[in-house]
Amino acid sequence: MIEQGAKFFTAPPPTTDLGLGGIGTVLQGSLVLVATALAFAAPISVLAGAFIAFYPNSFTARLARQLAEVVVEFPTIVIGLSVFGLFIVDLHWGLSALTGAIALAVVIMPYMTIQISEALRVPRAMFEESLYALGMSRLRTMLFVMSAGRRGLLTGLLIGMAKGFGETAALLFTVTTSFNLFFTSFNRPVSAIPVLIYFYGLSPYENWREVAWGAAFVLTVLVLALFSIVRVLARGGMSR
């Protein structure tokens, strides 16, 4: 990584035992996969988290909370295999950015839902009755509480991003292991940093293993940066 410098972030990985290359293709693939997964999962997670927070005693909210907690503990490789069987085998979508993003969205959705529901509990307890006493409607009350808990909402989304960047098992069945392909469209194959680390780390080629170590360092820094932002947001929310 040090030897390649900035080229390590833009060049494709080596496909032979000669040269170092970089992680340009898989870095781009990871960014596309996580961004697309967030676009799928974030609206559902925000709505589900808000519903759980505002209707905690309803059967549907309790069921949604239980399902989210179950999926959090579910083996993500089974999620990847399920997406593979449904979208790739049955619907013939093929290995693509879309199938990978769907698998990631299923993985990160319960994490974000639980975090968002917990983040909205405190502002709901603080403001809900007062807002009703002022004559505000249910919808305006919910929007006000969500605005007051926006740090928690953002924290939930960042936790989902961190989980998405580090996820490997769900992508083994849904993205390609041809690591020299840049993203061109959502129905074309892409790969991701964790998948490259998995395959290159086990390679007999020394240059492949060096790329895997460099990719692992980049992924570690990225995830640590996201969690550092989460801690800052959480600390700021508690100090208000």
User: What is the model's pLDDT at position 48?
Assistant: 94
User: Within 10 Å of residue 234's Cβ, how many Cβ atoms?
Assistant: 15
From first to last of its 240 residues, what are the pLDDT tens digits of the chain?
666 678 889 999 988 777 788 899 999 999 999 999 999 999 999 999 999 998 988 999 999 999 999 999 889 999 999 999 999 999 989 899 999 999 999 999 999 999 999 988 888 888 878 888 878 888 888 888 888 888 888 888 999 999 999 999 999 999 988 899 999 999 999 999 999 999 999 989 998 999 999 999 999 999 999 888 887 876 765 444
Domain residue ranges in the chain: 23-175+183-239
CA nearest 102: which of 118, 117, 85, 115?
85
Q: What is the DSSP string of 61-101?
A: HHHHHHHHHHHHHS-HHHHHHHHIIIIIIIS---S-HHHHH
Domain 23-175+183-239 in CATH 3.40.640.10? The answer is: no
Spatial separation of the C-alpha atoms in residues 181 and 94, rounded to whole Å? 15
CA nearest 78: which of 97, 106, 99, 101?
106
CA nearest 102: which of 187, 9, 27?
187
Spatial separation of the C-alpha atoms in residues 109 and 107, rounded to whole Å? 6
The pair of structure tokens assigned to 152 is: 């928690």
Please say whether the beta carbons of 148 and 130 come within 8 A: no
